[in-house]
């Protein structure tokens, strides 16, 4: 029987590799250089999977607006813990957490879809041209916000959304991943093997709450235990 992945498998893989990445960062002063680079290298796998899952969620969710709101809410809640972990400052606008990128990526897909629907009676060339304006705007916003993975992250989510039902075109986001972060390309085999099923359901509280929780855990380990 051929090995397949699903949304549950991909979420667990993304979460585990993300935790390894952030715990390595939190405990970096206690680790050897080899362990540090190994942990951060493993962590590169997580973002492309999260990007793919956002694109999948765009098609699977019952309410895209609520989905977008949840992403923005987690980004807002997580910013202070993220800044404490990365900069050891309570609030630092020079670099912001990945949920802003995930939110903008989802918003770019929603806007693209809305423009295509709203201008369905217009000239095809004009409609397609207008549909990319929100996407380009999201690229600039992510750059301005200096969110984790920035414009690359937004572009990757958008690309996964465009090719989601065309596995023969998955090499396009795969190539973007490889050019940006070669180690992150190890995520692609798991993404390609996805059968588009959801698998076991993870409660939303865990799915969204885990990100700020594990960052706070990393802070506790760094500042109070080690």
Q: Is the predicted pLDDT of residue 226 greater than 80, yes or no?
A: no
Confidence band of 128 (pLDDT split at 50, 70, 90): confident
Spatial distance between the Cα atoms of 153 and 125, rounded to a whole number of angstroms: 27
R_g of the chain, CA atoms, integer Å: 18
Q: Using alpha carbons only, what angle is made at residue 187 by residues 184 and 192, rounded to the nearest 5 degrees? A: 140
Note whether residue 101 is domain-resident.
yes
The two tokens of residue 19 are: 């935790």
Sign of the torsion angle spanned by Cα atoms 93, 96, 102, 108: positive
Burial class from Cβ neighbours inside 10 Å (0-12, 13-18, 19+) for residue 80 reads: middle
pLDDT at 93: 84
Distance CA 64, CA 79 (A): 23
- Residue 18 in any domain: the answer is yes
Q: Cβ contacts of residue 181 below 8 Å, gap of 6+?
A: 44
The answer to whether position 1 is within a domain reads no
Domain-located, residue 198: yes
* Sign of the four-CA dihedral 150, 177, 47, 58: positive
Residue entry with tokens 């989601």: 164
Q: Among 154, 156, 148, which Cα is nearest to 135's?
A: 154
Q: Is the predicted pLDDT of residue 201 greater than 60, yes or no?
A: yes
Number of domains making up the chain: 1
Is residue 11 within 8 A of residue 202, CB to CB? The reply is yes
Is residue 2 included in any domain, yes or no?
Answer: no
| Phi, psi dihedrals of residue 84, rounded to the nearest 5° | -65, -40
Quote the domain boundaries for residue 25.
7-225
Express each pLDDT in 64-105 by its tens digit. Answer: 999 999 999 999 999 999 999 988 888 888 899 999 999 999
96 in helix, strand or coil? strand
Mean per-residue pLDDT of the chain: 94
Q: For position 97, what pLDDT does the model report? A: 96
Q: Is the pTM of this model over 0.85?
A: yes
Structural domain contains residue 212: yes
């Amino acid at each position: 029987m051929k090995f397949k992945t699903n949304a549950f498998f991909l979420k667990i893989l993304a979460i585990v590799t993300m935790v390894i990445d952030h715990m390595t960062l939190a405990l970096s002063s206690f680790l050897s250089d080899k362990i540090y680079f190994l942990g951060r290298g493993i962590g590169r796998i997580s973002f492309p999977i999260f990007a793919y899952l956002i694109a999948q969620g765009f098609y699977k969710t019952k309410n895209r607006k609520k989905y977008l709101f949840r992403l923005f809410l987690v980004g807002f809640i997580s910013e202070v813990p993220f800044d404490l972990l990365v900069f050891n400052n309570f609030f630092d606008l020079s670099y912001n957490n990945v949920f802003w990128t995930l939110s903008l990526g989802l918003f770019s897909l929603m806007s693209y879809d809305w423009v295509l629907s709203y201008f369905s009676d217009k000239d095809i060339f004009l409609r397609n041209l207008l549909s990319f304006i929100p996407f380009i705007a999201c690229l600039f916003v992510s750059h301005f916000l200096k969110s984790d993975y920035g414009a690359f992250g937004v572009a990757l989510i958008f690309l996964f959304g465009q090719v989601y039902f065309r596995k023969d075109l998955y090499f396009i986001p795969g190539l973007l991943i490889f050019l940006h972060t070669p180690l992150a390309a190890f995520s692609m085999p798991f993404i390609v093997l996805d059968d588009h099923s959801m698998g076991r359901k993870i409660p939303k509280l865990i799915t969204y709450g885990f990100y700020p929780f594990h960052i706070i855990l990393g802070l506790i380990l760094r500042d109070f235990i080690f």
